[in-house]
Amino acid sequence: MAHERTRVFIGNDINGKAKYTQVSGRNQDERNDNIVLKYIESGRIWEMLPPEVLDSFLPKPAEPPKHPFAAYAEEWYKRYKSGSLEANTRLCVLYTLNGQRRYFGNKPIEDITINDIQDYFNSMQHLSKVTIKGHKVFLTQIFDSAVEDELIPKNPVRSQRLTNPGKESKGVHALPIEHMIDIME
């Protein structure tokens, strides 16, 4: 069987004039394969792909770097808190901060949701409401800082959905005078 030839448009030259080439093959399938090869060779193949397929070949923009909670919280503490606290308060803040760093670990601050915050509070339900409120104060400050640094659009700790599952404080009751006298004696 003789080779048959087909005229194929492969683009325009620098003056805008249409350019053609001849493609041959022993049969229609071979000519079709050769036409596709010419389209690839000329770069015209990209014109024929639908946008969603074409997008899959384009490089994806790099993801912005994530910020692990523990490292961000540590840096926040060093920069904004460590030098301005009394010794006793510093110990309380460090205790709270260490608990938060253990719980959230290296999870990116950008990925922490309202649900994660509520789960953290629920993990401390055996503590008093006042203690959990103290944890919330520091988390709020850390996430407010992340909002200001434009790492996150809004602070998940400020959600109205969050509840404090802690127990009511029993308070501290003074010893009766009789017991105090016994102790002093």
Residue 117 CB neighbours (<10 A): 23
Does the pLDDT value for residue 13 go beyond 90?
no
Report the pLDDT value the prediction gives residue 75, as an integer from 0 to 100. 94
pLDDT higher at 93 or 132: 132
Upper half-sphere CA count for residue 5 (Cβ side, 13 Å): 4
* Radius of gyration of the chain from its Cα atoms, rounded to whole angstroms: 34
CA distances from 126 to 42, 96, 116, 135 (A): 71, 15, 18, 14
Distance CA 11, CA 33 (A): 18
If you average pLDDT over residues 94-103, what whole number do you get? Answer: 90
> Percent of the chain having pLDDT more than 90?
42
- Kindly state the tokens that stand for 62: 């790099």
If you average pLDDT over residues 123-144, what whole number do you get? Answer: 93
Q: What is the pTM of this model?
A: 0.62
Does the pLDDT value for residue 169 go beyond 70?
yes
Report the pLDDT value the prediction gives residue 1, as an integer from 0 to 100. 55
Residue with the two structure tokens 């253990």: 102
Instruction: Report whether 132 contacts 121 (CB < 8 A).
Output: yes
Report the chain's mean pLDDT, rounded to a whole number: 88
If you average pLDDT over residues 89-103, what whole number do you get? Answer: 88
CA distances from 133 to 6, 160, 166 (A): 79, 14, 9
pLDDT, tens only, 104-131? 999 999 999 999 999 999 999 999 999 9
If you average pLDDT over residues 88-96, what whole number do you get? Answer: 85
Instruction: Report whether 108 contacts 116 (CB < 8 A).
Output: no
Instruction: Report whether 110 contacts 149 (CB < 8 A).
Output: no
If you average pLDDT over residues 141-157, what whole number do you get? Answer: 96
